Chain A
């Protein structure tokens, strides 16, 4: 067996790979920001003390966390067109799916983060006359974010790896880019090897960064 990587020139990378990487990055970014936003809301609902709000949030989180992501991707790809009455591109469908799905995981992280803030902080806020939204926004959430930053970033790395699963609905992501290039040049083995290398390089360097950050935060505390 002889491997030949020579076909992976600059124009092939630009035409096939970067296009896919751009979508994977976009999907990761939007789903992370949207997921944290929605997840924080769910965490606040769960800790609100109102049992109906808490039950709705718990049902949302537990349901999504017990279904395989591939099935969730398929569900949304099937249901969104049925609900809005027209078809939707795989890429947009993937973005909606990942935001909704990751919110369930981010919400569990944010819940732990909010609970990691000492109760005295909340009481002090109320004693100063802050309202609930003010107390959350000014005192609890900034500390919760800070405490949970390494975990949130680790989840983002997992999210980036999971974006490869949009394969199920044929969206054009990083993996798809490699696959199409491999098919075009009849070099599937080389492209899958390079794909694995690229994913590893990205995820491993991000996880090293997270570890650095973890150390830094620990010293400041």
Chain B
């Protein structure tokens, strides 16, 4: 195996006027930005699709089901290539969109299918009487969702959404395929340039660990903040 550690490699200039440490930190920033933006897209779309799949309308349910199946059954890497090569060819408008945005959309749409599944399960976990009571009170269907169903359903799905949030950090690594300079891309390039793969990979893996751990803590904090005593989804 390797004779000695050479952590000083991170202080070396990479030939572009910045040290490998600087590059590593900016790569971490890209990873977090991709994951965070994709998370916003996924949460919005996923909630919408999840709600559609629980509505009484057959057509809306079907649309939601198709959405979920399509984005769940094609590998993320293939989806990224579709956004990167096929979408700009079909819609010329997208050819001026930076690749960062395309990756965010790819990862966001991919994750939205998983979130839709969780949101649907959360809504279906509520007693049917809740929906009936809301409608019987004279609330419209959107009002029933807004004031009765969703506030409780979202509290129920916080734990599965947390693991999806940790997955999105991990899945953002696939962005290396279209040369977004995030952590995995950094790992591959820096390993090639320095041949100190073990040190580079350890640092990158450590940063993935820290990111996932931070999300885990943040989610527990949110879960405590929003819990309603005595209601479904509150505490243990």
Binding site for B on A (CB under 8 A): 1, 66-71, 74-75, 78-79, 82-83, 157, 161-162, 164-165, 167-168, 175, 188-189, 192-193, 195-196, 199-200, 203-204, 207
Contact = CB atoms under 8 A, between A and B. Distances in A.
A71 B75 contact: no
A204 B69 contact: yes
A68 B171 contact: yes
Contact of A193 (B2, B86, B169, B176): B86
A114 B81 CA distance: 40
B75 A199 contact: yes
Contact of B1 (A75, A82, A165): A82
Interface stretch (B4-12, B130-138, B147-155, B184-192): B184-192
B89 interface: yes
B176 A196 contact: no
Nearest to A77: B197
B77 A203 contact: no
Given A70-B176, A71-B184, A189-B86, A82 B2 contact: yes
Interface in B69-101: 69-70, 72-79, 81-82, 85-86, 89-90
Interface of B: 1-2, 69-70, 72-79, 81-82, 85-86, 89-90, 166, 169-174, 176-177, 184, 187-188, 191, 197-198, 201, 204-205, 208-209, 212
B172 to A, nearest CB: 8
A164 B77 contact: yes
A169 to B, nearest CB: 10
A189 B75 contact: no
Given A68-B171, A70-B174, A70-B184, A189 B1 contact: no
A161 B73 CA distance: 8
A204 B131 CA distance: 32
A157 B72 CA distance: 10
Contacts of A207: 69, 73
Nearest to B70: A200
A68 B184 contact: yes
A82 B197 CA distance: 11
Looking at chain B's contact residues, is the secondary structure mostly helix, strand, loop, or mixed? helix
A196 to B, nearest CB: 5
Nearest to B173: A68
A127 to B, nearest CB: 34
What are the 3 closest A-B residue pairs judged by CB atoms, nearest first? A68-B173, A203-B73, A161-B75
A60 B189 CA distance: 28
Contacts of B89: 1, 189
A71 B174 contact: no
Given A69-B170, A167-B77, 6 more contacts: A188-B85, A195-B81, A199-B73, A200-B73, A200-B74, A204-B73
B75 A162 contact: yes
A157 B73 CA distance: 9
A196 B174 contact: no
Contacts of A165: 75, 77, 174
Given A70-B176, A192-B78, A78 B204 contact: no
B170 A68 contact: yes
B204 A192 contact: no
A168 B70 CA distance: 24
A164 B78 contact: yes
A75 B187 CA distance: 10
A196 B184 contact: no
